[in-house]
């Protein structure tokens, strides 16, 4: 589904963030990418939706080099959940969720029922919350909206970059369960970045361990060989 072949990224200031990285994500798989701050996780994610380009090597989605995709086609089919909650503050919850479906010119009534469906899926009563602004929701609720917004237009791939890092441990645990359930229901390909090994092991079908711009191991949580 997603394939990195020998990808190296050197930023203009000379920092090499990735060194010949090769890995793949299977269709319908939840891959967690884990490693210390600065090891190249976010760089990897940004390259998947072409926010940045590899210096060397290639990336494929469905066996097609991502260079060859129309940029909108590519981005609309990739839901991106960011670390900082990135809801637009001046827009209501329903307007926030509707952004990509509207760009894709979905019918109004289809967008509306999609919003209901998604909000119910993560336990946020649409009647109560649809018309609110983001700052009228708790941090955990906003993060949940961030997750379903990324799913709204039914993308093939979902990228999540430390989506729970700003949350208290209880909201975090609840959201981890949500993601696992979601994965079971929607069977999407998900790449989930975290610096927390426990989270990576608990969530991933497979875990990709990175260090200093290289992949150290990719395996099932059971088979990971962890340093003490």
Beta-bridge partners for 10: 16
CA 160 vs CA 14, 90, 113, 138, 221: distances in Å: 27, 23, 24, 20, 19
3-state secondary structure of 162: coil
- Is the torsion defined by CA of 3, 216, 47, 104 positive or negative? positive
Binding mask 99-118 for ligand ADP (x = CB under 6 A): -x------------------
Instruction: Collect all residues with Cβ–Cβ distance below 8 Å to 215 and sequence separation of at least 6.
Output: 21, 22, 23, 208, 209
Q: Does 190 bind ligand ADP (CB under 6 A)?
A: no
Interaction residues for ligand ADP, span 4-23 (CB under 6 A): 11, 13, 15, 17
Q: Please provide residue 165's backbone torsions phi and psi, each rounded to the nearest 5 degrees.
A: -65, -25
Q: Does 42 bind ligand ADP (CB under 6 A)?
A: yes
Of the pair 4, 76, the CB lying nearest ligand ADP is at 76
Interaction residues for ligand ADP, span 146-185 (CB under 6 A): 150
Note whether 57 and 94 are within 8 A (CB): no
Binding mask 63-102 for ligand ADP (x = CB under 6 A): ------------xx-xxx-------------------x--
Smallest distance from the beta carbon of 170 to ligand ADP, in angstroms? Answer: 25
Of the pair 125, 186, the CB lying nearest ligand ADP is at 186
Residue numbers at the binding site for ligand ADP (CB under 6 A): 11, 13, 15, 17, 35, 37-43, 49, 51, 75-76, 78-80, 100, 150
């Amino acid at each position: 589904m997603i394939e990195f072949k020998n990808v190296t990224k050197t930023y203009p200031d000379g920092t090499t963030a990735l060194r010949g990285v090769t890995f793949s994500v299977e269709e319908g798989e939840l891959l967690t990418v884990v490693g210390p701050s600065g090891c190249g996780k976010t760089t990897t994610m940004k390259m998947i939706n072409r926010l940045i380009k590899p210096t060397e090597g290639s990336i494929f989605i469905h066996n097609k080099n991502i260079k060859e995709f129309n940029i909108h086609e590519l981005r609309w089919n990739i839901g991106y959940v960011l670390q900082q909650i990135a809801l637009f503050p001046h827009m209501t919850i329903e307007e926030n969720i509707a952004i990509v479906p509207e760009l894709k010119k979905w019918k109004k009534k289809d967008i509306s029922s999609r919003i209901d469906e998604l909000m119910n899926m993560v336990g946020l009563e649409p009647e109560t919350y649809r018309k609110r602004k983001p700052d009228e929701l708790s941090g955990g609720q906003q993060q949940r909206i961030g997750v379903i917004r990324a799913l709204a237009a039914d993308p093939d791939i979902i990228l999540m970059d430390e989506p729970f890092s700003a949350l208290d441990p209880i909201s975090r645990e609840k959201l981890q369960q949500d993601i696992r359930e979601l994965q079971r229901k929607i069977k999407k390909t998900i790449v989930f970045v975290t610096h927390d090994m426990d989270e990576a092991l608990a969530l991933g079908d497979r875990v990709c361990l990175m260090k200093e711009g290289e992949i150290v191991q990719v395996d099932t949580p059971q088979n990971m060989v962890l340093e003490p």
